[in-house]
Amino acid sequence: MSEYELILTETRGRVGHITLNRPEALNALNRQLMREIVSAGRAYDADPDIGAIVITGSAKAFAAGADIKEMAERDYVDMYLDDPFAEWSEFSRLRTPVVAAVAGFALGGGCELAMMCDIILAADTARFGQPEIKLGVIPGMGGTQRLPRAVGRYKAAELVLTGRTMDAEEAERAGLVSRVVPADELLAEAAATAETIASMSLPVVYAAKEALQAAEETVLAEGLRFEKQAFTATFALDDQTEGMRAFRDKRSPDFGHR
């Protein structure tokens, strides 16, 4: 029996899949759903046989935000002491790359969850936005920080201050999504993307993700220093020798996955 009630998990090859499964609330992120997502992500991250993670929702909703009904009656002291979103920092620090496969609504916390992932593949049915302002609050899971980095400050400000949502095409144009695909191809595309990542050297994938994160978190000179160190460190790995010899010998590399 699964240890989870609100998500489905499945390992296929070297890819761990997480499917949000709270359809009656459009995958609204209540406390339990958040805990289960973070717990499944950590479990995959701790497993050296997992090289990438796919997270998805339903055809109608990736996630329609944090659970408004759960939050409605809470007050400042309660929220401050409880810090209900603290666990998300663990999700965004997973070393394993995460591919978000987004169909339908990705609003509020749902959009923010997608932005904690490394790659966002969007079905042509996807809608993104930060409508918190309409509820008398502001984004609380990174929306005011990650959205401007993804789409630029002026578009982010328009979305956060008006609550307007955008379709997949606009989101791709703005730089929020990696790629838009037809809805019926979304899961296959996400799985194929994750499988490609998982076929690479795991320590090198970790290093690449860490260096990309440094681009978000540091100034350029520091990021370039980090990259140089991480790049040089890959030359300590057998996988670098194998990868380059395989190219020279015109064969596929064997990165020694079990």
Is there binding between residue 251 and ligand CO8 (CB under 6 A)?
no
In eight-state DSSP terms, residue 124 is T
Amino acid (one-letter) located at 51: G
Integer Rg of the chain from CA? 19
Is there binding between residue 109 and ligand CO8 (CB under 6 A)?
yes
Q: Which of 141, 147, 194, 205 binds ligand CO8 (CB under 6 A)?
A: 141
Q: Which of 25, 64, 66, 123 is catalytic?
A: 66
CA 245 – CA 239 distance, rounded (Å): 10
Q: Which of 97, 131, 243, 253 binds ligand CO8 (CB under 6 A)?
A: 131
In eight-state DSSP terms, residue 103 is -
16-45 residues near ligand CO8, rule: CB under 6 A: 25-26, 28
Smallest distance, Å, CB 161 to ligand CO8?
Answer: 15
Q: Tokens in use for 16?
A: 């761990």
User: Which range, of 36-44, 105-113, 207-215, 222-230, touches ligand CO8 by CB under 6 A?
Assistant: 105-113
x/- mask, ligand CO8, residues 46-65, rule CB under 6 A, reads: ------------------xx
- How many residues in total does the chain contain? 258
Helix (H, G, I), strand (E, B) or coil at 140: coil
Q: Which of 67, 118, 172, 239 binds ligand CO8 (CB under 6 A)?
A: 67
CA 248 – CA 9 distance, rounded (Å): 39
Amino acid (one-letter) located at 110: G
Q: How many residues bind ligand CO8 (CB under 6 A)?
A: 21
Q: Is-catalytic flag, 112?
A: yes
Beta partners for residue 10, in sequence order: 17
Q: Is-catalytic flag, 40?
A: no
Helix, strand, coil abundance in the chain, percent, nearest 5: 50, 15, 30
Q: Please give the residue ranges that form the binding site for ligand CO8 (CB under 6 A).
A: 25-26, 28, 64-69, 84-85, 105, 107-109, 131-132, 135, 139-141
